[in-house]
Amino acid sequence: MDLLGALSEWRVAALLRNSGTAYALVNSAHVASIGLLFGAIVTLDLRLVGAFRQHPVAHLAPPLVQVAGWGFAFATATGFLLFSVRPLAYLDNIAFQLKLGLLALAGLNVLLLKINPRWRVAVGGGTPLASVRAAALVSLILWMATIVAGRWIGFLM
C-alpha cells in the first residue's frame, strides 16, 4: 500500500471521516490556529511598514513572532489531520496546490527576513529599513493569498 493510501487508512483519518463532531473540532482548531498565526503576522507586518509607530518593534516583535510560531505549528498539525482524511483528493485540488506553493513562498520570505541584518536592527530598536518594510509587505500579500487559497479548497472538493 502506498504512503497516501496508508495515511487515508490511518485510524485517526478514519475517525475524522466518520465523525462529523471530530472533524468539526479539528477544522475549528485549524481555523483558530490560522487566526493566531495571521493575527500575529498582520500586527507585526503592519508595524514594520509604518503603522502603530508609538509601539517599538523591539517590544512587539518577540511575542508576535512567538505567537505566529505557535499558530503555524498548530495550523500545520491540524492541517495534516484534515489532509489525512482525503490525501489524494487534496493533492489533485488546484487550490490546495496553490496554498502549498504560497506557504513555501511565505516561509522563504520569513527565512530571508530573518537572515537580513536589517531585521536584527529593527528588532534591536532601530528603524525598519526598506528591505524589512518590503518583506513585511510581501508577507501580508502572501499570507492573505494563502488564506484565500485555503478557503478555495473546499469549493473545489
pLDDT tens sequence across 23-35: 999 999 999 999 9
Please give the C-alpha separations between residue 125 and each of 47, 116, 118, in angstroms, as whole numbers.
Answer: 13, 15, 11
Q: Which grid coordinates belong to 146?
A: 494563502
Whether pLDDT at 65 is above 90 = yes
**Nearest Cα to Cα of residue 37 among 150, 154, 152, 153:** 150
3-state DSSP of 7-69: HHHCHHHHHHHHCHHHHHHHHHHHHHHHHHHHHHHHHHHHHHHCCCCCCCHHHHHHHHHHHHH
Q: How far apart are CA 24 and CA 41, in angstroms?
A: 25
**Computed from CA positions of residues 35, 111, 60, 55, in that sequence, does the dihedral angle turn out positive or negative?**
negative
What's the structural domain count of the chain?
A: 1
Cell 522563504 appears where? Answer: 108
Mean pLDDT of 84-97: 96
Whether pLDDT at 157 is above 90 = no
pLDDT tens sequence across 44-54: 999 999 999 99
Mean pLDDT of 72-84: 97
Q: The domain containing residue 146 runs over which residues?
A: 3-156
Q: How far apart are CA 124 and CA 44, in angstroms?
A: 14
Mean pLDDT of 74-100: 97
pLDDT of residue 1: 55
Instruction: Give the whole-number percent of the chain exceeding pLDDT 70.
Output: 99
pLDDT of residue 4: 87
The answer to whether 122 and 132 have CB atoms below 8 angstroms apart is yes
Q: Which amino acid is at 40?
A: A
Helix (H, G, I), strand (E, B) or coil at 143: helix
- The DSSP letter of residue 92 is T
**Computed from CA positions of residues 92, 96, 98, 104, in that sequence, does the dihedral angle turn out positive or negative?**
negative
Cell 509587505 appears where? Answer: 137
